[in-house]
Amino acid sequence: MTVGVLALQGAFQAHIDKLNELGAEAVEVKRPEHLEGVDALVMPGGESTTMSMLLESSELFDPIAERIDDGMAVFGTCAGLILLATDIEDGRPDQRSFGRLDIAVQRNGYGRQVESFETDIATTVTDESVHAVFIRAPKIVRLGSDVEVLAEARGDAVLVRSGNALGAGFHPELSKSTAIHRLFLDSVYN
């Protein structure tokens, strides 16, 4: 099994390190041919507007959408969550997303004064509490009926799953815990 990490921009290296720590093989995905060898894909944090543009110019957008349709497991964190959402508030009008999680996200939704914060969260998937780092994070402001909430923070869903898509509003790759990446790898191996 090889896990690809979208490496056009943003916080991809920490995801690769975390996946390696768990014994998974992780490779950077920058061009369409890199996608051929991967069984799953992580979309990291960064700037979703820039990533959207780079997905177009690298000609990765359509092949990734096809792979997700074929059942490839995807995990989006922060900007990556925005890329998986069906609805984006406060985005650029030309910003594209894969629309595989039926949620609305508000970009930078936690407001200026608390744009970035850290908190320990409980999840439904492990007994351990997970340290969650939110950096200019998207806020999930609507949840579709088929979307499962796996963790909340400050009263909002922050870890969600639907079909083969997993999304986190925070940065699990910056936490000491490996629980969230383990959850994703379990869905890839099973």
Which x/- pattern over 142-181 shows residues binding ligand GLN (rule: CB under 6 A)?
----------------------------------------
Q: Which residue in 4, 46, 63, 76 binds ligand GLN (CB under 6 A)?
A: 46
If binding means CB under 6 A, how many residues of this protein chain bind ligand GLN?
11
Sites for ligand GLN among residues 99-128 (CB under 6 A): 107-108
Question: Residue 100 region, left (φ>0) first, then alpha (ψ -120 to 50), else beta?
Answer: alpha
Known catalytic residue: 59? no
CB nearer to ligand GLN: pick between 95 and 126 = 95
CA-based torsion, 176, 11, 1, 61: positive or negative: positive
How far is it, in rounded angstroms, from Cα 69 to Cα 63? 10
Q: How far is CA 80 from CA 12, 63, 117, 128, 165, in A?
A: 10, 16, 18, 24, 11
Q: Which residue in 19, 40, 41, 82 binds ligand GLN (CB under 6 A)?
A: 82
**CA angle at 161 for the pair 107 and 141, rounded to the nearest 5°:** 30
CB nearer to ligand GLN: pick between 39 and 131 = 131
Known catalytic residue: 78? yes
Does 54 participate in binding ligand GLN (rule CB under 6 A)?
no
CB nearer to ligand GLN: pick between 102 and 173 = 173
Q: Which residues pair with 160 in a beta bridge?
A: 149, 167
CA-based torsion, 5, 44, 77, 94: positive or negative: negative
Does 63 participate in binding ligand GLN (rule CB under 6 A)?
no
Of 125, 133, 119, which Cα lies nearest the Cα of 185?
A: 125
Residues that bind ligand GLN (CB under 6 A): 45-48, 78-79, 82, 107-108, 135-136
Q: Which residues are catalytic?
A: 78, 171, 173
